[in-house]
Structure 1
Amino acid sequence: MIVDTGVALNTVWVVLAAAMVLFMEGGFSLLEAGLVRTKNAVNVTMKIFVDLTVGVLAFFLVGFGILFGPDAGGVFSFDFWGASQSLHLSLNLPLSAYVLFQIGFAIAAISIISGAVAERMSYKAYILIALFVAAILYPVSGHWIWNGEGWLARLGMKDFAGSAAIHALGGWAAFAFAKVLGPRRGRFNSDGSVNVFAPSNIPLASAGTFILCFGWFGFNAGSTLNAADAQLPVIALNTLLAAASGGAASMLYTMFRFGKSDPSMTMNGALAGLVAITAGCAYVSPYSSIGIGLIAGLLVIWGTLAIDKLKVDDPVGAVAVHGVNGIFGTLAVGLFDAQDGLLTTGHTHLLGIQALGIAAVVVWGLSMSFLFAKLLDRTVGLRATDAEEEEGLDMAMHGIPAYNELERFSDQPGGDLLDFAKAGAALRVAD
């Protein structure tokens, strides 16, 4: 069988990009394990394995057919083989490579939720959430944007790699689940002040951030689906510039505002820049990418403080990173798009479409996640028991600690290593 050279190159590029996107799950795992307390590090890692197992199967068997299946009144329908046949005719690469790439996107949407509900959610409930997000929540709104027959696609909404379809959806779904779940015990005081739970391992979290940054090149540049696309290097450059400017903005702001440069905020600033550029990486200039990243790096700090004031407990800052900057990144296309942006051309039409699109995605993600969280809470139970939370979900739900050395020293005088979590509190507190 002779394969066209262009198809072969595209296949290699998309499979490689898909592998990079799937490797981001390792980044989520390390980032979350480093930002939660030691007694819950195994649990957050196991939730990422839920995404890589249950989430993958749910999207392949159900979600893909909804996302790319034939349209029914501009909303969605389920038809895996209909999706396969139509995509086969439009793609210049094997359908299996495209499915693989899309699986990576779907499970990324689930993993955003994992960090926001860390340290107090029932493991069984999380498995059901992964099924729900991969099979229904993400595919339906993704259909509106990325299926050419979807109503937002027909209006002309631009979301190149998913600031709205993945990040805003996942971020505001995470907000809804965290709101219904309630905060960790002792997180908020009766006067509204916040008790800081120090991260367990900042170097581990930084390694996760680096992996996520690496995988994001596959996330954004891979969305070209074409190894010969002239925009590919510009997309990659825009991705890096937004991450750099987002991290720089957070790093410098915390340095001058709080007197110390906060590492967790710096990491989240870089990720916020990546989230914000994801929608417009193919449509804006490198200079606009820097501006988008700078704004995102500030928004993630202000968003984190605002979410704390609402008494919604988000241990890793997922709502501020993905939810807040998913909205901003979607709107930024309407502001900075080289052909139709308000600030670049004076046109307002695209900005209006982007605003409508992001509003629809946020309302869908919030409302459906809130209802599903309530359903779980009344049936299987959404939250771990007080005893399980106090003990730590690692031992309560998985029977093994993240660091066995802690057991050896915990009963020696002055040797309770868990007390280190009380020292060096992060600067993520309200004014």
Structure 2
Amino acid sequence: MSRRVMVLLTLVLLISLSSVAFAADATAESNAIAIDTIWTLLAAFLVFFMQAGFAMVEAGFTRAKNAGNIIMKNLMDFSVGSLIYWICGFAFMFGAGNAFIGSKGFFLSGSFEHLGLDIPLSAFWIFQAVFAATAATIVSGAMAERTKYSGYLAYSAVITAIIYPVVGHWIWGGGWLSDMVDFAGSTVVHSVGGWAALAGAMVLGPRIGKFNEDGSVNAMPGHNLLMAALGVFILWFGWFGFNPGSTVAGTDLSIADIAVTTNLAAAAGAALAMITSWIKYGKADVSMTLNGALAGLVGITAGTANVDNFGAVAIGALAGVLIVYAVEFIDKIHVDDPVGAVAVHGVCGAFGTLMVGLFATEGGLFYGGGIALFLTQLKGVVAVAIWTFTTAFVLFKVIAGTIGLRVSEEEELEGLDITEHGSVSYPDFVPLHWKSVKVSKK
């Protein structure tokens, strides 16, 4: 074989091998994008399922005559919220703009290249949309049993359009608080919902019969602890999308570590809430224990990717103790929160965000990082609390003075299922006079 032929064959072989290598690299990259996209979508679906968890918790912790109203509010939080977040919420949160708010990308139009996404924008949007709906639905429980349905819908639209997206832009969208650590939203999602819930409950006032003239508190037990427990299990399950899913990358193997810290914090929260209630009340309180699990989950959400397992247990355990006293404190200041949303999401959301400054393995005070990170976290917690409470309080006052926020005394006593929706959730167990009410035009 001539030398010329040998050289030609060698060149052909080299070109072929380089083509194979290039094709292999391209395939590996496309596979990674596919895995990340599927993971983000799966996580979004898990977070969406949390809507069912919130509905069950809130319905179970409230009275039977309002169960259908709770379900309607949770359903429409997501429905209205999805549309509003598509129209403008996502643009305000992640669109290019200034340090306060985004100003481009309405209706998911235009470029979002500044986000540096490896996954399709639509996958990222649906993941963020279910987070926005979570922030909105937190408020439902604190305002349960006495809120006018139309007024609540108006609030739900506004929090998804502007109140929540502004906070999200500050911390996750490149805004002025982007240096704080809030990996999956103890502050962005949960404390926003909690502080808005506090504002709503304060503007509404307590349910009829909740507080006596001497200031003492009357217990108003929910109608179904089994339903509430199912809701907590659904929320715990959904949190494995909420926290690990915030990587938006299935190829990021830290999702396993994040799942572990999430679970340990929830378990510690439930255990310590049970123990605290047992010591304090002489019985292991069911509702406090259920809320303890949620307190641990909310508390770990900010630092779930930044703390080790010991830190996760400590944060969850402290949140479990805190929730018992926070629920009592909310009652003592005469704020009627039927499900404990302010304590769970507002108080424990802020607490968990601050704990990152102590327990983060990089920068945390207990790990040799000094006080700088804690102060950064504190700045963010205070700023978000002021913004959310103020804007929500003004919003609820405006709604109360226009379309109305609270139902009449007669409607509250009758129950919102029949007075707001013309139906009852348990038709076989309602008082006889309800059975004479025409609930259908058929």
Q: Above 0.5 in TM-score?
A: yes
CA distance in 2, matches of 1:129, 1:141: 17
Alignment partner, residue 233 of structure 1: 256
Would you say 1:79 and 2:107 are equivalent positions?
A: no
Would you say 1:41 and 2:97 are equivalent positions?
A: no
Contact in 1 for aligned 2:73/2:140 (Cα 8 Å): yes
CA distance in 1, matches of 2:75, 2:114: 30
The verdict on how the C-alpha distance between 1:87 and 1:160 changes in structure 2, with shifts beyond 3 A counting, is: farther
AA in 1 matched with 2:276 = Y
Alignment partner, residue 145 of structure 2: 119
- The CA deviation string for residues 221-267 of structure 1, in whole angstroms up to 9 with x for no partner, is 00001111131101000000000000000111111221111111101
* Among 301, 312, 320, the residue aligned to 1:278: 301
Alignment partner, residue 191 of structure 1: 214
Q: Partner of 1:161: helix, strand, or coil?
A: coil
Q: Partner of 2:407: helix, strand, or coil?
A: coil
Would you say 1:55 and 2:81 are equivalent positions?
A: yes
Alignment partner, residue 163 of structure 2: 137
Q: Partner of 2:253: helix, strand, or coil?
A: coil
AA in 1 matched with 2:105 = F
- The CA deviation string for residues 336-368 of structure 1, in whole angstroms up to 9 with x for no partner, is 010100111141111110000010000001100
CA distance in 1, matches of 2:48, 2:393: 27
Shift in Å, 1:84: 5.7
AA in 1 matched with 2:95 = G
CA distance in 2, matches of 1:99, 1:326: 23
CA distance in 2, matches of 1:359, 1:230: 33
The verdict on how the C-alpha distance between 1:89 and 1:324 changes in structure 2, with shifts beyond 3 A counting, is: closer
CA distance in 2, matches of 1:231, 1:398: 46
Alignment partner, residue 227 of structure 2: 204
Shift in Å, 1:220: 0.3
Contact in 2 for aligned 1:69/1:83 (Cα 8 Å): no
Shift in Å, 1:125: 0.5
AA in 2 matched with 1:272 = A
- The CA deviation string for residues 357-415 of structure 1, in whole angstroms up to 9 with x for no partner, is 010000001100110011011100110111110100000011111111103xx459xxx
Shift in Å, 1:67: 0.1
Deviates more, 1:2-11 or 1:196-205: 2-11
Contact in 2 for aligned 1:187/1:195 (Cα 8 Å): yes
CA distance in 2, matches of 1:89, 1:168: 24
Shift in Å, 1:77: 3.0
Structure 2: gaps spanning 5 or more residues: 1-25, 434-442
AA in 2 matched with 1:262 = D
* Among 133, 158, 163, the residue aligned to 2:186: 163
Q: Which has the larger radius of gyration?
A: 2
- The CA deviation string for residues 36-76 of structure 1, in whole angstroms up to 9 with x for no partner, is 0010011011000111211111111110000001122x111
- The CA deviation string for residues 300-324 of structure 1, in whole angstroms up to 9 with x for no partner, is 1111111101100000000000000
Contact in 1 for aligned 2:303/2:352 (Cα 8 Å): yes
Contact in 2 for aligned 1:70/1:83 (Cα 8 Å): no
Contact in 2 for aligned 1:120/1:393 (Cα 8 Å): yes
CA distance in 2, matches of 1:87, 1:163: 27
CA RMSD of aligned residues (A): 1.6
AA in 2 matched with 1:78 = S
Contact in 1 for aligned 2:353/2:381 (Cα 8 Å): yes
AA in 2 matched with 1:212 = L
Q: Partner of 1:119: helix, strand, or coil?
A: coil
**Alignment identity in percent?**
47
CA distance in 2, matches of 1:141, 1:108: 14
Instruction: Give the alignment of 1:259-270 within 5 angstroms.
Output: 259-270=282-293
Alignment partner, residue 421 of structure 1: none
Would you say 1:338 and 2:352 are equivalent positions?
A: no
Contact in 2 for aligned 1:68/1:83 (Cα 8 Å): no
CA distance in 1, matches of 2:229, 2:274: 14
CA distance in 1, matches of 2:210, 2:115: 53
Q: Partner of 2:111: helix, strand, or coil?
A: helix
Would you say 1:13 and 2:36 are equivalent positions?
A: no
Deviates more, 1:86-95 or 1:5-14: 86-95
CA distance in 2, matches of 1:322, 1:133: 16
* Among 173, 191, 196, the residue aligned to 2:196: 173
Contact in 1 for aligned 2:102/2:169 (Cα 8 Å): no
Alignment partner, residue 151 of structure 1: 176
- The CA deviation string for residues 92-146 of structure 1, in whole angstroms up to 9 with x for no partner, is 1111000000001000001110000000000000100110110000000110000
CA distance in 2, matches of 1:67, 1:83: 14
Deviates more, 1:48-57 or 1:269-278: 48-57
Would you say 1:370 and 2:400 are equivalent positions?
A: no
Q: Partner of 1:406: helix, strand, or coil?
A: coil
Contact in 2 for aligned 1:88/1:94 (Cα 8 Å): no
Structure 1: gaps spanning 5 or more residues: 413-431
Contact in 1 for aligned 2:105/2:112 (Cα 8 Å): no
* Among 252, 256, 259, the residue aligned to 2:279: 256
CA distance in 2, matches of 1:231, 1:128: 39
Q: Using structure 2 for the length normalisation, give the TM-score.
A: 0.90
CA distance in 2, matches of 1:382, 1:100: 30
CA distance in 2, matches of 1:78, 1:40: 40
AA in 1 matched with 2:341 = A
Instruction: Give the alignment of 1:324-403 within 5 angstroms.
Output: 324-403=347-426
